[in-house]
Amino acid sequence: MDPLSDVLSMLTVSSTLSSRFEARGLWAFRYPHYASHIKLGGVLAGRFRLQVEGAGAPVVLDAGDFFLLTNGQPFTASSDPPGPLQDGVQISRDHRGPDGVLRYDGQNAEGGPLAVMASGRFTLHGEAGELLLRHLPPLIHLRASDPGARPLVGLLDLLAWETAELRPGASLARTNLAALVLVQALRVYLAHAPQPEGWLGAMADARIGEALSQMHGDIARPWTVERLAQSAGMSRTAFAVRFKTLTGSTPLDYLGGWRMTVARNALRHGDEAIARIAERVGYQSETAFSAAFKRTVGESPGRFRTLSRDSAGLTPSA
């Protein structure tokens, strides 16, 4: 499995393509701080402005463009030029119709051009979500004209059709469509961002990305820095220096951390025997795994599983 798929598969994700917004005239809505979300959207018609507080100048989005908001900071969405600023949450409550579409007429709406956006969110939980979010910029703007954006542009017709009205199977269709938009958007960003930061930048680097793919593809293998350097086609020293520069961790620290992430996910969400988890993440014995797990997490694997189930209100399956 490639690193991006591996991380996304580890997320506890609640994904929704929940909103279609149609507006005329001049308007501006402010939205408050939000937690553990990626907000995504595509412009189906017209033009919008987006500005994340503390993240620089507004960004103008035209038809065919997509955006991701990642850092949870308050933001403003508006016409271009904007109208009077209002509470976006309250507007959503007051103007959403029974078909789920939010329709709004701002100042000078009569005869004005229609702006249409489809949007949704991913709620991310757990360590893998933090790994993804902390290396994304607060606002990612993907233009329809960007190289590699063709798959995203191709999704616009589906977005427009799926959000236009409620249809049978809408919940499943919208969730899966939102997931597809997210993956494609991250692909375009990774391929064309000037210099993605941290783990994402490492994944976009041809040589270090290959080493990451090797690790994620077989975390149980007894990897050494030498083997990983060989997979990247680099000397041991050059590989170790570049890996740490890009990820902030040594190769083996990164591998150990990912093994613990996989183990925590398995303990939290499944009933797999601890000995089997230990083997699957690369430990020769349950004892060695338990010692490493407690050193990293502060609890034994068994107690971590119990506490995780208790906090989530879950009980082991029969």
More confident of the two residues 278 and 41? 278
Domain boundary among 146, 164, 194: 194
Share of the chain above pLDDT 90, in %: 44
Dump the DSSP string for 241-260: HHHHHHHSS-HHHHHHHHHH
Is there a domain that residue 199 lies in? no
Residues 232, 84 share a domain: no
Is there a domain that residue 294 lies in? yes
Residues 138, 27 share a domain: yes
Count structural domains, the chain: 2
Residues 67, 12 share a domain: yes
pLDDT at residue 188, rounded to an integer: 79
Domain boundary among 194, 226, 254: 194
Is there a domain that residue 200 lies in? no
Residues 170, 46 share a domain: yes
DSSP state, 71? S
Cβ pair 185, 146 in contact under 8 A: no
User: How far, CA to CA in Å, does 163 sit from each of 17, 158, 194, 242?
Assistant: 8, 8, 33, 45
- What tens digit of pLDDT does each residue of 239-251 get? 999 999 988 889 9
**Could you tell me the CATH number of the domain that includes residue 210?**
1.10.10.60
- What tens digit of pLDDT does each residue of 294-309 get? 999 999 999 999 998 7
pLDDT at residue 225, rounded to an integer: 97
Residue the block writes with tokens 């506890």 = 12
- What tens digit of pLDDT does each residue of 170-219 get? 666 766 777 777 778 877 777 776 666 667 778 778 899 899 989 988 99
What is the dihedral sign for C-alpha 102, 105, 107, 109? positive
- What tens digit of pLDDT does each residue of 82-109 get? 999 999 999 989 998 888 889 999 999 8
Residues 128, 152 share a domain: yes
Q: Which domain holds residue 163?
A: 3-194
Is there a domain that residue 222 lies in? yes
Domain boundary among 151, 175, 194: 194
Residues 97, 56 share a domain: yes
Cβ pair 61, 144 in contact under 8 A: no
